[in-house]
Amino acid sequence: MNLLASPLLTDLYQLTMLNAYYAHGMRETAVFELFVRKLPPNRNFMMAAGLEQAVDFLEHLRFTSEEVEWVEKSGLFPLEFARHLEGLTFTGDVHAMPEGTLFFPNEPILRVTAPMPEAQLVESRLINLVHFESLVATKAARTVLAAPGKLLVDFGLRRAHGAEAGLLAARASYIAGFAGTATVLAGQRMGIPIFGTMAHSFVQAHDDEVVAFERFAETYPRGAVLLIDTYDTERAAEKVVALASKLKKRGIPVKGVRLDSGDLATLAKNVRRILDEGGLHDATIFASGNLDECRVRDLLAAGAPIDGFGIGTSLVTSSDEPFLDAVYKLQEYAGKPRRKRSAGKATWPGRKQVFRQYDAAGRFDHDILTVESDVQAGEPLLIPVMKNGRRLHTAASLDALRRRAAGQLAKLPERLKPLETAEIPYRVAVKPALRKLADEVDRMTGEIPALCK
Amino acid sequence: MNLLASPLLTDLYQLTMLNAYYAHGMRETAVFELFVRKLPPNRNFMMAAGLEQAVDFLEHLRFTSEEVEWVEKSGLFPLEFARHLEGLTFTGDVHAMPEGTLFFPNEPILRVTAPMPEAQLVESRLINLVHFESLVATKAARTVLAAPGKLLVDFGLRRAHGAEAGLLAARASYIAGFAGTATVLAGQRMGIPIFGTMAHSFVQAHDDEVVAFERFAETYPRGAVLLIDTYDTERAAEKVVALASKLKKRGIPVKGVRLDSGDLATLAKNVRRILDEGGLHDATIFASGNLDECRVRDLLAAGAPIDGFGIGTSLVTSSDEPFLDAVYKLQEYAGKPRRKRSAGKATWPGRKQVFRQYDAAGRFDHDILTVESDVQAGEPLLIPVMKNGRRLHTAASLDALRRRAAGQLAKLPERLKPLETAEIPYRVAVKPALRKLADEVDRMTGEIPALCK
């Protein structure tokens, strides 16, 4: 049994509400939309990811007999509740932005239309998947923009928040444009290219650094990347040059070196000089060690001759902003639009669509957010992905998603590409039809909005 | 097959090194220690957690035939390498601090003593588990210190980084002193108490807020907690009072209300007054919504009459500091102590022990960090947990770990309990025996340390 597919991967209040819905016959169609309320600091866009895992979760949603029995025996619910869970599957529709799509605040990236109990139950896991992958895809996309043409590799598994986070981060960063990951299981399970060389422990396990280098190079006669910062980086670079001429006679090239600590800009320049003077013009320099997109940008701006970067903790935890304000909100029930008006957390009601407008150069100009029926010119971003509980398309290949993401980044206005908040944010225009609907809902529920709309 | 137990949950460089170790017959005993190099800002201590998952991972370490075949066909390694993996299990010893133990920078919290390939392979997953659970246990312990006697519940699944993070965060925060979690699967799988009431969507699905309250209360006649901030919090509190007298006649109590937005301090006071004036003295007030330990402390300091708190995103992502500087470093190989001297990342060599010293009042006074053989007075914190690949004790109950954690927090010096960095940090004294060993290692490897020790 797959732990990660359990319908009990939910909050208890979903079950308490389900029980109340069943008790009161509330099984009408509900429409929920998943969106991010605001951009985190220093973000000019977000990138959608995680849809494939979300669809897979919905497609396989089913309580095992063991889980039903647990609910029965929990003492939290009347006995008949477990009977409802026994046959529960997801029979609804899903509309969503394809993975790799850039999106902005208040734009739904996924919409679920299903009988209330089904649509409610899946909230926690849908946010859990789409929130995290979108968080990392966004962070990775920033890195891609900061280091055009450089080899970027996810090194984050060890400090990812659990194993699933490590795997999903490898996937999300690959979609966003990373070359691959160090996480082997992501290679085996998802076909993501994997990268890896040696750690300090390999060097330390030898009495002599040169012996460690030589043994490693012999083991990988097509060319290895040697880690040179265990003791003294520049001295180690000189050792590599000396070793390279010895290895050359045996037909073994030195593919490159990795720097993992110290003043990387200065070290990279000095190491490059040492390698070049030693004739190792083709040997590349790969850098790692507490890097993020800002450090990478600064290193490149300082002229550091670095060919590739391993980015770990900051990527997989999105360390400067480890979460998005992602929510999944009821927009319609039993044919009536709904909205929440809690202070500072009001939402736009109804089934919505985002129509993206392009400028003459083919770049994003602005988006229009309105009710689905209020069709506008431009590209509708939400497309049907599930119908009656079944997926409409086979899963897109990671290659196709990478092309989508790269295409999106190419169409992003220049002012939104820097790593800091742009002076003029991307414009999301809310159409009168949507404002009118919000007013109608407010009148209908007989309440005056307490605070901001 | 359990995705989360795969030995391919590792970095590729572990496999490239393993291949080189096998190729060169390097299967001598290696000693690795897992520790945190420095305290994150605003932390005066860390709390160890995740050992149970780490031991479980080691105990079940085994390549499936499918995984061996994948390695064989990957084209990354010579054919004989896959043969080595086929029979690989973990045959080593583990020493560790019990979960719930408070620890400080540079103190090993887990030590692996095993043939080099086994000890190396498991690095990524061991850090992944122990780092994350310790991160969340630390964050949760801070919250426990900030809100003595209050009901604290983990609400974080939806914005946890994947499902495993949600489950492990529920576990780590429960160990640290939370009352439980909203994550149902954590209840089913680990027996952690689960909490949950209703969401805004339940209220929104009804045309009338009062009907929603009444239906929910009827469904839970032993007493429900009603969410009162969907439209107007204080008006909703008045509705609850009116409803309560109606429900009372039917023998249904109102257990409490939940506030999830707005100025919680003011709202809690006003709602308390409304409830009290309506005779609902026993109804509790539970608060949630973008809370962390600092907000909780400030609310209590402002006299907010709040009985419990649901803490989500900030807890499970440790949002102010979403990672620890946790590493797993080679300290000895083939009987010889080792150390890394990379700039800013130098480590203390050899097998070490931490001896905790207590003051007259039974509180932590300081710790002594030294080589294992340099036995000191005080409590040795690292104890044997695995021998020859088998666990020495059955898994400790979560109750026992909670008692350990509570005992540790009770013995923490007062100056280290506030949420900001203490003026005088906890002292970890490095003994001369350890300094001497570091100097010897430096002489042996013939290098002068580049930077700080």
Phi, psi angles (nearest 5°) of residue A397: -70, 155
Of A316, A339, A370, which marks where a domain is finished? A316
Mean pLDDT of B420-447: 86
CA dist A259 and A310 (Å) reads: 10
Mean pLDDT of A389-414: 97
Reported ipTM: the value is 0.95
Other beta carbons less than 10 A from residue B195's beta carbon: 24
CA dist A114 and A28 (Å) reads: 8
* Same domain (yes/no): B93, B159: no
* Same domain (yes/no): B88, B219: no
* Same domain (yes/no): B292, B262: yes
Q: Which tens digit of pLDDT belongs to each residue from B158-198?
A: 999 999 999 999 999 999 999 999 999 999 999 999 999 89
* Same domain (yes/no): A69, A104: yes
pLDDT-based confidence at A243, cuts 50/70/90?
very high
Choose among B158, B205, B333: nearest Cβ to A330. B205
What strands, in cross-sheet order, belong to the sheet with A364-371? A379-380, A352-358, A364-371, A428-430
Tell me if A142 is assigned to some domain.
Answer: no
SS3 category, B294: helix
pLDDT at position B2 is 56
Closest alpha carbon to B327 in B138, B124, B137: B124
HSE, side-chain direction, 13 A CA sphere, residue A226: 31
pLDDT at position A452 is 28
Closest alpha carbon to A230 in A266, A212, A203: A203
pLDDT-based confidence at B450, cuts 50/70/90?
very low
Phi, psi angles (nearest 5°) of residue B300: -70, -40
Tell me if B179 is assigned to some domain.
Answer: yes
Report B:148-167 residues touching A (Cβ under 8 A): 155, 157-167
Please state, rounded to an integer, the average pLDDT across all residues of chain A: 94
Is-contact A82 A115, C-beta < 8 A? no
Number of domains in chain A: 2
* Same domain (yes/no): B295, B327: no
Is residue B298 classed exposed, middle or buried when 0-12, 13-18 and 19+ CB atoms within 10 A define those classes? Answer: middle
For residue B423, what is the DSSP state? S
Q: Which tens digit of pLDDT belongs to each residue from A27-74?
A: 999 999 999 999 999 999 999 999 999 999 999 999 999 999 999 999
Closest residue in chain B to residue A289, using alpha carbons only: B345
Is-contact A126 A112, C-beta < 8 A? yes
* Same domain (yes/no): A124, A216: no
pLDDT-based confidence at B323, cuts 50/70/90?
very high
* Same domain (yes/no): A305, A372: no
CB-CB neighbors (< 8 A) of B218 in chain A:
23
CA dist B275 and B240 (Å) reads: 8
CA dist A119 and A112 (Å) reads: 6
Strands (E), B294-440: 308-311, 326-333, 336-337, 352-358, 364-371, 379-380, 383-387, 390-391, 428-430
Phi, psi angles (nearest 5°) of residue B366: -160, 170
Which spans in B191-303 are helix H?
A: 200-204, 209-219, 233-249, 264-277, 293-301
Q: Say which residues have a Cβ less than 8 Å from residue A383's Cβ, sequence separation at least 6.
A: A95, A96, A97, A98
Phi-psi category of residue B191: left, alpha or beta, with phi > 0 → left and psi -120 to 50 → alpha: left
Range of the domain at B433: 3-137+323-444
Closest alpha carbon to A304 in A276, A275, A269, A270: A269
A441–chain B nearest CA distance, Å: 10
Is residue A294 classed exposed, middle or buried when 0-12, 13-18 and 19+ CB atoms within 10 A define those classes? Answer: middle
Q: Tokens 């060097």 appear where?
A: A203
Contact A125 B15 (CB under 8 A): no
Contact A129 B220 (CB under 8 A): no
Report B:336-365 residues touching A (Cβ under 8 A): 336, 338-345
> Rounded to whole angstroms, what are the CA distances from A247 to A209, A272, B17?
15, 19, 19
SS3 category, B272: helix
B137, two tokens = 């246990």
Tell me if B453 is assigned to some domain.
Answer: no
Tell me if B156 is assigned to some domain.
Answer: yes
- pLDDT at residue A347 above 90? no
* Same domain (yes/no): A299, A330: no
B133–chain A nearest CA distance, Å: 8
Give the global pTM. 0.96
Mean pLDDT of A415-419: 97
Tell me if A449 is assigned to some domain.
Answer: no
pLDDT at position B444 is 67
Contact B230 A341 (CB under 8 A): yes
Of B289, B316, B343, which marks where a domain is finished? B316
A404–chain B nearest CA distance, Å: 24
pLDDT-based confidence at A340, cuts 50/70/90?
confident
CA dist A179 and A222 (Å) reads: 20
Other beta carbons less than 10 A from residue B407's beta carbon: 12
Number of Cβ pairs closer than 8 Å across A and B? Answer: 362
Q: What is the CATH number of the domain that holds B124?
A: 3.20.140.10
Please state, rounded to an integer, the average pLDDT across all residues of chain B: 94
Cα–Cα–Cα angle for B178, B181, B187, rounded to 5 degrees = 120
Q: What is the CATH number of the domain that holds B312?
A: 3.20.20.70
pLDDT-based confidence at A3, cuts 50/70/90?
low
Contact B165 A165 (CB under 8 A): yes
* Same domain (yes/no): A335, A311: no
Tell me if A141 is assigned to some domain.
Answer: no
**Percent of chain A surpassing pLDDT 70:** 97
CA dist B396 and B383 (Å) reads: 14
Contacts by B433-441, CB closer than 8 A, 24 or more apart: B433/B370, B433/B371, B433/B373, B433/B374, B434/B348, B434/B350, B434/B352, B434/B369, B434/B370, B434/B371, B434/B374, B437/B337, B437/B348, B437/B349, B437/B350, B437/B371, B438/B339, B438/B348, B438/B349, B440/B337, B441/B337, B441/B338, B441/B339, B441/B349
* Same domain (yes/no): A126, A175: no
* Same domain (yes/no): B52, B131: yes
Q: Which tens digit of pLDDT belongs to each residue from A97-142?
A: 999 999 999 999 999 999 999 999 999 999 999 999 999 999 999 9
CA dist A256 and B39 (Å) reads: 34
> Rounded to whole angstroms, what are the CA distances from B181 to A13, A123, A364, B175, B316?
11, 16, 43, 11, 11
The answer to whether B382 faces chain A, any CB pair under 8 Å, is no
Closest alpha carbon to B238 in B260, B217, B257: B257
Tell me if A451 is assigned to some domain.
Answer: no
Q: Which tens digit of pLDDT belongs to each residue from B348-388?
A: 889 999 999 999 999 999 999 999 999 999 999 999 999 99
Tell me if B11 is assigned to some domain.
Answer: yes
A247, two tokens = 């290895």
pLDDT-based confidence at B320, cuts 50/70/90?
very high
* Same domain (yes/no): B110, B184: no
**Percent of chain A surpassing pLDDT 90:** 92
Of B281, B300, B316, which marks where a domain is finished? B316
pLDDT at position A444 is 67
